[in-house]
Structure 1
Amino acid sequence: MYKIETPESEVDFDAYFEFRWQMLRKPWNYPQGSEKDEYEQVSEHRMIRNNKGEVIAIGRVHMNNAEEAQIRHIAVANEAQGRGLAKMVMSSLEAVARQEGAVRIVTNSRELSTPFFKSCGFEVEREASAELGKLKRQQMVKRLLDHNTILLHPKWCKELQDTWHDTIPISEQMGIKLHQYSGKTLENRASLNKNINLHGTMFAGSIFSLATLTGWGMIFLQLKEKNLMGEIVLGDGNIHYHKPITMQPRALCHIESLNGKFDVLSKGKKCQIKLHVDILDGDTAVAEFSGVYWILPPEPEVQTDNES
């Protein structure tokens, strides 16, 4: 019985890269070292061993941006092919991509590998640049669908996501993404890999930013629901940390936690909203955020006298 492993020790990685070179570079007379690139440190690596402890299958995934993951270096030993090992590796790497918030996966496939990737749900998009100047490849893409995601008012949700990225560019670099909105609950997620500290956990500042934007986003969507307008600013925020985040950063804000009267905005008055955001690592509660936000009413239009 085979199992997916993540290389961790120097010995693990030596065996992993040796196998990658033997399978994917040596047949084309490329020297050792050519099997590595600049993305190794920011990638997730997977491998399978046989009962002798020898590496017989490998693969890698890394994020190109907040929405796109790229899979590379899928290889299976000749004597182990036909046992479904490549699909085991692919499934593990796709799970990583989903966890990181990817909505699509791309890969550059040689002609020999194209049928395999098609069997995994990929489609040919265009011709890719030749790898190492010689190997002709095609770029293939697979769009990820999360059937459990609820996205009420998708146009509003997209507007919120675009507003974050346009006005707070670091939110995109952190991989903060609106995951679902039901009208009563807003859930946002962030990429752990983009916010990881030297201890292998999420930066406390990144957790605070995720919580703050989630509260801000909930108010943004509630203004849309109530057909109101205003500028949202954070007045005060407090967070209590209980456990580190080591897997999947999630932030949830429930409408029941909101306390304030939105209707004063229609009278040209500023509105104070208090709310809570729950921070989870997967399904484990790890922190709570309490925020006080102010909504400033739009500036009144200046009436001009056009009479001469």
Structure 2
Amino acid sequence: MFKVVTPKTEQEFDAYFHFRWEYLRQPWNFPPGSEKDEYEQVAEHRMIVDGQNQVVACGRVHMNTAEEAQIRHIAVHADHQRKGLGQMMLDALENVAREQGAIRAVTNSREGSIPFFTGCGFVVEREAPNELGLLKRQQMVKKLAITDALVLHPKWCQQLQQTWSDTIPITEHMGIKLHQYTGRTLETRASLNKNINVHGTMFAGSIFSLATLTGWGMLYLQLKERQLDGDIVLGDGDIHYHKPITMKPRAVCNIESLSGKYALLEKRKKSRFTIHVEILDDDKPVAEFKGVYYVLPPTAKEPT
């Protein structure tokens, strides 16, 4: 049984780096330590372990820019090659890249690894600098798509995302995306990498914007569910911060937290709604938002 884990303890990192050296540096007579570079502290590290907790594969990803992730150092134990562990490791690293806001991944592949990355959706873009001064490499690129999200009424959700992009361009710069909509729950996510302050945490203003848009989005989709229309405006917003966000910014809004009178809109009258949004850092609650929104009935068109 194999599983992907994140090295955390000194002992786990020692095993991880030793494995990297053994498979990626020792064959070319480079000493221990040569497997490390200046990106280790800002990178995300993953390894695959077997049932005895022994390392059988490794890999690393770090962000080159707010939208581009660099995947490096994928290696698989000689006794476990051709078992899908390379694909398993790459999938894990791509998921990390998506969570950090990347829309594309790049890797500098040795010639022998090009077929593997090609089979995983990468394409050769250009020649890359030689590794260790002697191994020829090609830079390969892959566009990252959002996966593993349940989206009810995908057309409405796409319209909502497009509305945010068209009318509130900052959502694109913040990396705010609709992640999941079940009809009862709306979850959005933002890129920490695009909203990080000097302390390595998410800007408070970005958290507020994420919460506000999530509440707005839930009301937008609920109007669609009821075949109603109107202009949604924020009347008031109150947020309480408990902890900083250092990992994965998420906002969740449940339908039970939404209250207001849809009947007024059916009579083409303004209606007031209150919505609660929970902000999480991965699975840890870090902030609570209460928003008051008004829905204004569409303005009647002048007769022609």
TM-score (norm 2): 0.72
State the shift of 1:223 in Å: 1.5
| Structure 1, unpaired ranges of 5+ | 28-34, 49-55
**Which residue does 1:129 correspond to in 2?**
126
Conservation of the 8 A alpha-carbon contact between 2:61 and 2:72: yes
Conservation of the 8 A alpha-carbon contact between 1:101 and 1:189: no
Q: Secondary structure at the match of 1:195?
A: coil
Separation in structure 1 between the aligned mates of residue 241 and residue 162 of structure 2, nearest angstrom? 29
Number of residue equivalences: 267
State the shift of 1:97 in Å: 1.9
1:4-83 alignment, distance < 5 Å: 5=7, 44-46=43-45, 59-62=60-63, 69-74=68-73, 82=78
Question: Quick one: percent identity of the two aligned structures?
Answer: 51
Aligned-residue CA RMSD in angstroms?
3.8
Conservation of the 8 A alpha-carbon contact between 2:42 and 2:62: yes
Separation in structure 2 between the aligned mates of residue 285 and residue 268 of structure 1, nearest angstrom? 38
The one-character-per-residue Cα deviations of 1:111-163 (angstroms, maximum 9, x if unpaired) are 32123335xx61244x402224996636353755644x220001111111111
The one-character-per-residue Cα deviations of 1:88-109 (angstroms, maximum 9, x if unpaired) are 8645523422433557645453
**Which residue does 1:258 correspond to in 2?**
258
Separation in structure 1 between the aligned mates of residue 190 and residue 182 of structure 2, nearest angstrom? 19
Q: Secondary structure at the match of 1:235?
A: strand
Residue 128 and residue 243 in structure 1: after superposition, are their counterparts in 2 closer, same or farther (change >3 A)? Answer: same
**Which residue does 1:153 correspond to in 2?**
153
Letter in 1 for 2:190: A
Separation in structure 2 between the aligned mates of residue 275 and residue 184 of structure 1, nearest angstrom? 13
Q: Secondary structure at the match of 2:244?
A: coil
Conservation of the 8 A alpha-carbon contact between 1:128 and 1:136: no
Separation in structure 1 between the aligned mates of residue 122 and residue 248 of structure 2, nearest angstrom? 31
Letter in 2 for 1:195: N
Q: Secondary structure at the match of 2:286?
A: strand
**Which residue does 1:231 correspond to in 2?**
231
**Which residue does 1:196 correspond to in 2?**
196
Letter in 2 for 1:233: V
Separation in structure 2 between the aligned mates of residue 106 and residue 84 of structure 1, nearest angstrom? 25
| Structure 2, unpaired ranges of 5+ | 30-36, 48-56
**Which residue does 1:294 correspond to in 2?**
294
1:100-111 alignment, distance < 5 Å: 100=100, 105-107=105-107, 109-111=109-111
Separation in structure 2 between the aligned mates of residue 42 and residue 169 of structure 1, nearest angstrom? 32
Residue 151 and residue 63 in structure 1: after superposition, are their counterparts in 2 closer, same or farther (change >3 A)? Answer: farther
**Which residue does 1:216 correspond to in 2?**
216
1:85-124 alignment, distance < 5 Å: 87=86, 90=90, 93-100=93-100, 105-107=105-107, 109-117=109-117, 122-124=120-122
Separation in structure 1 between the aligned mates of residue 296 and residue 246 of structure 2, nearest angstrom? 37
1:136-175 alignment, distance < 5 Å: 137=138, 139-141=140-142, 146-147=147-148, 149-175=149-175
Letter in 2 for 1:82: A
Letter in 1 for 2:169: P
Residue 193 and residue 222 in structure 1: after superposition, are their counterparts in 2 closer, same or farther (change >3 A)? Answer: same
